[in-house]
Structure 1
Amino acid sequence: MENPQAPHVLMLPFPAVGHIKPMLMLGKLLCQAGLSVTLLNTDQNHNNILNPIDQSSFYSRYPGFQFKSLAVGLPPEHLRTGPVVAELLYWITSACSTKFKEYLMVEENEKGQPEPVTCIIADGIMSFTIDIAEEFHIPVITFRTYNSTSTWVYFHLHQLLQNGEIPVQRDEDMDQQITSIPGLETILRRRDLPPFCKLDSTDHLLQFYMGQTSKMKRASALILNTFEELEGPIVSHLHSIFPTVYTIGPLHGLLQSHINHNAPPSDSSETSVRPQDRTCIRWLDSQPSKSVVYVSFGSVVVLTQDQLLEFWHGLVNSGSPFLWVIRPGLVLAENNVAETPSELTIATNERGCIVGWGPQEEVLAHRAVGGFLSHSGWNSTLESIWAGMPMICWPQIADQWINSRCVGEMWRTGLDMKDTCDRSTVEKMVRGLMEDKNEEIRKSTAIYSSMARNSVAKGGSSYHSMSKLIEDIKSIQ
């Protein structure tokens, strides 16, 4: 590496696309600032990240960056979607923690090398790193790839359980307010809590998240991919747990900011672990301004065949052109899958475009796109806010339920469609969003988009927070 005296940051993301992407973007920013960075992934994700990257170009821009892997990959046939996510979480805490400790032992034994690990930035649900790093006297900064509101809710899971607000029973009023979380007493309803809060109190997912969140408190600081103007009051609450909180989002916007005036533009394919089909951009070029509804449910959510057809009918019946990302594995394999009705095929050929994966940031910025039907993953939500794109939210897992409530109630940047996806509701919501029936939403998205861009500009809140993170890492002795 070019600068042998540079602090060396070891980064460990959770092995899922939505977690790896912000970690990689943060690594680039640290590298631009002169730090050495090692991104440590499971072997399969390591290969998936490197495959689309022009490595010669990448390392010329980020000469202090390294990609390394832990040989803990699941068998290829073991999917990382849908019902097996709980199993995957527990697999990580056992297999991955062992390999991570072995990795640090090698680093420790090579102290004569120019770049021992200065600090570790670990995903918030990879908190086993804190136990291991303490043995090696290496400070850990936890990076929660959720927003601050979801993070704050997760810190109150134990209190919700103690106060009897979870588990939520199926026969209870789902619109009843949740009152045990300071700052959110008038915002969250029972239906807005993650699915594992609606199961038995001994559920493994609930116990897992409570355990991981509790361990996070022992980290030296907290990083969040958000910005003060969006979530300032909740960030203030998090300061009661972490004296230092770095709000450095939107990270993809920060990469385009003035952190390094001489840095070349970033390539979005470098943060994607799936090949991008760019034919959709040519299709968008042929569509009228703000006429297209963009549909993507991210990298983990799965649909039944019935849900797929309900969405499809609703989109077609709305009359709007649509760009739909239907990735491999999006639809659950089912026996006796019905053929696609001919009217859907004909309508899609006339005014639709379906791709396996696309350059989402570029799509959301395209002049032809006027709305985003999303699963409410945090990366997608933040990218939509950045682009000033109103949303329809259909959450399915984890923080997505809280994100969709934030979008629909706190920020008024979209519509919350949780708990249903029947074709009439899909049609009604798409029409409402695309036919400018929600003036408040469009005004609010424009305001927050401007705030997001100001936050990453020189002197902005996220720009300042990123600069402080860099300075603090450089000061570690």
Structure 2
Amino acid sequence: MEMQMELRPQPHVLLLPFPAQGHIKPMLALAQLLCHAGIHVTFLNTEHNHRQLTQRQALSARFPTLHFRSISDGLPSDHPRSISPNLMDIVSSLRSKTAPLLHQLLVSLMSKNDVGSAAQLPSLGCVITDGIMCFAIEAAEEVGIPVIALRTTSACSFWCYSCIPKLIEEAQLPFGDEDMDKMVSGIPGMECLLRRRDLPSICRVPTDHPVIQFFVEETRAITRASSLILNTFDDLESSILSHIASRFSKIYTIGPLHALLKSRVVDDNLSSSLRQEDRGCMMWLDSQRVGSVIFVSFGSLVKLTRVQLLEFWHGLVNSGSPFLWVIRSDVLWSDEAEQASHVTPAEVIVDWAPQEEVLAHEAVGGFLTHSGWNSTLEAIWAGVPMLCWPQLADQQVNSRWVGEVWKIGVDMKDTCDRSTVEKMIKALMKGEDKEVISRSVDHFAKLARTSVSKNGSSYLNLEKLIQDLRNL
């Protein structure tokens, strides 16, 4: 029997991320984990992002069963491809132009004569698609192979998205800008917790807006997947996971994926960033006192006005804490982008940073963040308290959980003035609440480490996923 198991060919899985940095990174971590187990993975990026991912060859060399492919997103070459504010451009093109190309690729990968790959691969047996790329579910159904959905958000935000159709039916949406502190009912497990301002950002637009209609459609479509993968861990979101389980027969909680990858693959992780990382900031951090630095990054999508950027700068300077600030070249909404680099001393500004390493550095004592889920998990893992300034999508929900549920930081949503920034940084780094927050941060960091260690919940759930893929 053991001989037969060894001779059985490894499965072949296609992974399809949504074309944005925050979606590609966890999906690529999963790809490496599956390849580490010997599974063949075809990682399918859009042609634009395929070119941007500079570590492709190094990753393929490390993982012989990892195969990169690309597919057209259907957009003209000069399209900015920024999710904010071009989400519907991208979505419409993916649905109309990429979907039929995906169908053709799946048919090709299911045959033994796939001419697009240099390697002879086993026939494709499963698709793992991003949970907001549900046209892939239809494509997989058409060719008769199982499909699993991966949502790159927190469980709590995913559950909020899942309940948006119900909120619309109950006329709780839309609400405009009126009474943003009014409590929201109708989301099981979140009673007396969510205010209007804590709902996903799409809830602030009219319910007939194409963006909210897109998420309503995706929320309905995702339940057709055979199972759901979430980048979280059981001890972090167990109460909400029990509600999600009412809609999915099988859920694999395998987060934090970046940490699970570190625990399973001994080598240093290769970067999955679409941007060039500036490692010079690590030397500057080496010169700072332990726990003294506030790290500032608003992720790959959030944009600022020049007024907001200056308010943050004054608040940071007035706080008295040294800071390391990621200011992307495209961070400003207007033509003032080139002026951004002149706002603060050059040695504390980088265009993009190796964030996991920065957060793990002993000099970093706080994280001013947009509350994207990857950043939130990386801060939890590193044991760094957060000051949250959410802007887009799931970030509003995440920041509420950080401040009110997990108590591992403070929530500064919907405000941006220098006095508030200064006051909240001082509270995070030196204030009376620092000790309480630090205890919670240490608690959840330990739970995260336990989850990815041998026999931890995420470790075992990954084993189940690998076994289920082999059984297909």
Which residue of the partner structure matches residue 254 of structure 1? 260
Q: 1:101 to 1:322 in 2, by over 3 A?
A: same
Q: Which residue of 2 aligns with 1:67?
A: 68
Task: Please show how residues 325-344 of structure 1 align to structure 2 within 5 Å.
Answer: 325-334=326-335
* Matching of residues 141-290 of structure 1 within 5 Å: 141-171=148-178, 173-257=179-263, 259=264, 263-269=265-271, 271-290=272-291
Q: Which amino acid aligns with 2:18?
A: F
Match of 2:117 in 1: none
Q: Does 1:370 align with 2:371?
A: no
Q: Cα distance, 1:81 vs. partner?
A: 4.2
Structure 2 distance, partners of 1:340, 1:76, is 24
Over aligned residues, Cα RMSD in angstroms? Answer: 2.0
Correspondence for 2:384 among 379, 384, 389: 389
**2:47 corresponds to which residue?**
43
8 Å CA contact 1:167–1:198 kept in 2: the answer is yes
Deviation string, structure 1 residues 306-355 (Cα, Å, up to 9, x no partner)? 111111111111111000001121111247x896799x54xx36xx6000
> Aligned partners of 1:293, 1:3: CA distance in 2, in Å?
53
Cα distance in 1 for partners of 2:7, 2:375 equals: 35
- Measured in 2, the distance between the counterparts of 1:240 and 1:311 equals 42
Aligned to 2:3: none
Secondary structure in 2 aligned to 1:306? Answer: helix
Q: Could you tell me which of 417, 421, 426 is aligned with 1:426?
A: 421
SS at match of 1:156: helix
Q: CA deviation at 1:379?
A: 0.2
Residue in structure 1 matched with residue 90 of structure 2 by the alignment: 88
Q: CA deviation at 1:94?
A: 1.8
Structure 1: gaps (5+ residues): none
Q: 1:305 to 1:256 in 2, by over 3 A?
A: same
Q: Secondary structure at the match of 2:138?
A: helix
Is the alpha carbon distance of 1:80 and 1:59 closer, same or farther for their aligned partners in structure 2, counting shifts above 3 Å? same
Q: Which amino acid letter does the alignment assign opposite residue 243 of structure 1?
A: S
Which residue of structure 2 aligns with residue 308 of structure 1? Answer: 309
Shift of 1:95: 2.0
Q: What SS does structure 1 have at the residue aligned with 2:296? A: strand
Q: Which amino acid aligns with 1:272?
A: S
Q: Which amino acid aligns with 2:96?
A: S
Q: Unaligned 5+ residue runs, structure 2?
A: 1-5, 115-119
What is the rounded CA distance, in whole Å, between the counterparts of 2:359 and 2:431 in structure 1? Answer: 17
State the 1:305 CA deviation.
1.0
Q: Which residue in 2 is equivalent to 1:442?
A: 438
Report what 1:291 is aligned to: 292
Aligned-partner SS, 2:224:
coil
- Offset at residue 116 of structure 1 (A): 1.2
Question: Alpha-carbon deviation of 1:436?
Answer: 4.3
Does the alignment pair 1:400 with 2:395? yes
User: How many residues are treated as equivalent by the alignment?
Assistant: 460
Equivalent-residue separation in structure 1 for 2:393 and 2:88 (angstroms): 11
SS in 2 for 1:146: coil
- Contact kept, 8 Å, 2:74 with 2:98, in 1: the verdict is no
Change (3 A) 1:100 1:319: same
Cα distance between partner residues in 1 of 2:121 and 2:251: 30
How much does 1:255 deviate?
Answer: 1.1
* Aligned partner letter, 2:50: H
Q: Distance in 2 between matches of 1:170 and 1:320?
A: 34
SS of the residue aligned with 1:87?
A: helix
Shift of 1:272: 1.2
Amino acid aligned to 1:93: R
- For residues 222 and 339 of structure 1, do their structure 2 counterparts lie closer, same or farther at Cα, with a shift above 3 Å needed? closer
Residue type of the partner of 1:152?
W
Whether 2:18 is the aligned partner of 1:11: answer no
Residue 324 to residue 430, structure 1, CA distance change in 2 (3 Å): same
Change (3 A) 1:450 1:462: same
- d(CA) in 2 for partners of 1:444 and 1:354? 30
Contact 1:81 1:302 in 2 (8 A): no
Counterpart residue number, 1:138: 145
Measure, in 2, the Cα distance between the counterparts of 1:3 and 1:176. 61
1:324/1:105 Cα in 2 relative to 1: closer, same or farther (>3 Å)?
Answer: same
**2: distance between equivalents of 1:313 and 1:94?**
46
Cα separation, 2, equivalents of 1:265 and 1:367: 22
TM normalised by structure 2 equals 0.93
Contact 1:294 1:371 in 2 (8 A): yes
Distance 2:64 2:126 in 1: 19
Q: 1:109 to 1:92 in 2, by over 3 A?
A: same
Displacement of 1:102 after TM fit? Answer: 2.0
147-156 or 8-17: bigger deviation: 147-156
CA contact (8 A) 2:311 2:418 kept: yes
Residue 86 of structure 1: how far off its partner (Å): 3.1
Say if 1:407 and 1:143 are closer, same or farther in 2 by CA, change over 3 A: same
Which residue does 2:101 correspond to in 1? 99
- Cα separation, partners in 2 of 1:328 and 1:81, compared to 1, 3 Å: farther
Structure 2 counterpart of 1:365, which letter?
A
Task: Answer yes or no: is 1:322 the counterpart of 2:323.
Answer: yes
Secondary structure of 1:155's aligned partner: helix
Matched letter for residue 440 of structure 1: V
User: For residue 123 of structure 2, what is the aligned residue in structure 1?
Assistant: 116
Helix, strand or coil: the match of 2:391?
coil
Judge conservation of contact 1:43–1:73 (CA < 8 Å) in 2.
Answer: no
Distance 1:10 1:340, change over 3 A: closer
Look up the SS of the partner of 1:288 in the other structure: coil
Q: CA offsets, 1:184-212, max 9 Å, x none? A: 01211111112221221101111000001
TM-score (norm. length: structure 1): 0.92
Is 1:33 the counterpart of 2:44 in the alignment? no
CA distance in 2, matches of 1:135, 1:117: 14
State the secondary structure of the residue aligned to 1:197. helix
8 Å CA contact retained: 1:292, 1:323: yes
State the one-letter code of the partner of 2:453: A
